[in-house]
Amino acid sequence: MSSHFSFRSPLPPSGGRLQDTISAWWNAPEGQVADEYPSQGVDRQGQGRWQERLASYRWQDAVWMGRRREDPLHYPLSIYRLDPKAWRHDSLGQPLGWETLASQLVPYAADLGFTHVEVKQVAESDAGEDFARFVNDCHVGGLGVIIEWPLASPQAGLSESASLDLACDWLDGLHIDGLRLKPASSDSDGTVLSRFMDGL
């Protein structure tokens, strides 16, 4: 059993000019395009380390953040799933970094008509400015970002409530648009999933 908690894509793909749009946002002078919806700092366990690293990051996805609050049930949802470490590799055979991944993935997925990308195998160690820029570029390019979220403790020793707090931190602090929730086992009765969804 799995479930999605997500928002619609508020920005239509812009065809061949999409890469130009992303480049313009990426290279905009600091403060020129500020986020009108800054995340509200909530003191939750486990948040501080990567939140401190993001303290100086200036989001440029205010248009997306404002529009995604519209009712997602009235719009189509088309999700492109990928493992970022396996999607494409550089000339040395290494996985693409978040910036390069965004520059290739966003125009590719948006031009195919997808509304969201679902990123698998994302770890808490990925939380930081590089991943924030990836999310920002996806939003600017008209794509929502969903991450795969195992309900069986994302980290060893994480309680159910701590896992929920961490998920909320990602949704809020990293502008994640949705989570693909995966129960601990295939024979799960869905109780944990239901509690998690209620908490979100």
73-101 CB burial, b ≥16 within 10 A, e <16: eeeebebbebebeebeeeeeeeebebeeb
Mean pLDDT of 85-91: 94
pLDDT of residue 53: 77
Residue 156, judged by CB atoms within 10 A of its CB (0-12, 13-18, 19+), counts as exposed
Find the range with the poorest average confidence among 26-35, 45-54, 149-158, 173-182. 26-35
Q: How far apart are CA 183 and CA 18, in angstroms?
A: 36
In the three-class reduction of DSSP (H, G, I as helix; E, B as strand; rest coil), residue 34 is classed as: coil
pLDDT of residue 185: 65
Residues found in the chain: 200
pLDDT in tens, 1-33: 444 444 444 444 444 344 444 444 444 444 444
pLDDT in tens, 127-171: 889 999 999 999 999 999 999 887 655 655 677 788 888 888 888
Question: What are the counts of helices (DSSP H) followed by strands (DSSP E) for the chain?
Answer: 7, 5
pLDDT of residue 188: 61
Q: What pLDDT band is residue 197 in, cutting at 50, 70 and 90?
A: confident
pLDDT of residue 97: 94
**Whether residue 77 has pLDDT greater than 60:** yes
**Whether residue 62 has pLDDT greater than 60:** yes
User: With DSSP H G I counted as helix, E B as strand and the rest as coil, what are the percentages for the chain, rounded to 5?
Assistant: 40, 10, 50
pLDDT of residue 37: 33
Which residue would you say has higher pLDDT here, 34 or 92? 92
pLDDT of residue 5: 42
